[in-house]
Amino acid sequence: MANEPVILNVYDMYWINEYTSTLGIGVFHSGIEVYGREYAYGGHPYSFSGIFEITPGNAAELGETFKFKEAIALGTTDFTEEDVDKIIEELGKEFKGNAYHLMHKNCNHFSAGLAEILCGKEIPRWVNRLAYFSSCIPFLQSCLPKEWLTPAALQSHISNQGLNKDDQSDTGDDEPPSTSASATTSGAARTCRHTRV
């Protein structure tokens, strides 16, 4: 049994969090770290996966408005690294770049789904509170900066693939290769059960 730690990495997305997070309101990005790799989700205009990889905890790969906030140990998983790769591939069919939606399918929804699969744990509710508030203010998503929807790591990967909006019909459902280097996982975690897919 692998008994690998599953960690939720949370990032502040904007300076306003310095003032609003004490009120329980903030704009956060999250990703799930397992086997020294962090998986996250972002939007783009194509019909392939919006799931991408960064070096765990490396806010610079996400863009200049992102700042690492904290790592939250969610538990452990018995899935192997190969199992995780297959799970990410399957989730990529659901979490396509052009399916990104601030209220219904954002990076925190992805993190919540992956955490549930890997170790049966929920992410803290405060991480995705913006989705709830944006449902009360429908025009909010159109006011947000593009980099909040498509982090720099994902934008860079799309650019490196030579894709543009005219290529959208040729992309199909294939997920492009990963974009980041591996890092080592550290930190203690509570044991929890996983769910086989």
Pairing of strands 51-54, 67-77: unpaired
Do strands 28-34 and 4-12 pair parallel, antiparallel, or not at all (unpaired)? Answer: antiparallel
Establish whether 29 is a catalytic residue: yes
Active-site residue flag, 107: yes
Q: How far is it, in rounded angstroms, from Cα 84 to Cα 118?
A: 8
CA-CA-CA-CA torsion sign (15, 155, 131, 31): negative
- The order of strands in the sheet holding 37-41 is 51-54, 37-41, 28-34, 4-12, 67-77
As a whole number of angstroms, the distance between CA 185 and CA 112 comes to 19
- From the candidates 44, 101, 107, 136, give the one annotated as an active-site residue: 107
Active site residues per annotation: 29, 107
